[in-house]
Amino acid sequence: MITSGTGIKTGRRMEHISIDGPEGSMTRLASVAATKTYIHINNTNPIWQPDGPERKAVFDGGWGIAYDGLKIEI
């Protein structure tokens, strides 16, 4: 939110876990053998940019990104 100019709080300050980095969810959950999909994503999150490096990193890490209308069967 700071980078996009839409707010002053960091994700960490709002008790959110980062996606990337050594303490991020991709690293923390790398050993989990399951389909992993990010949901509840802020509209300012750079993973929404179709050609952005952050989105590529999520997909390269084996994760999905939820979208309107997505159905997940359990």
State pLDDT tens for residues 6-15: 666 666 666 6
Look at residues 19, 31, 17 and name the one whose alpha carbon lies nearest to residue 59: 19
State pLDDT tens for residues 10-46: 666 666 788 999 999 999 999 999 999 999 898 889 9
CA atoms within 13 A on the CB side of 73: 0
* Torsion sign (Cα): 25, 28, 31, 32: negative
Indicate the pTM of the whole model: 0.78
Yes or no: say if 17 and 46 are a contact pair by the CB < 8 Å rule. no
Other Cβ atoms less than 10 A from the Cβ of 38: the count is 15
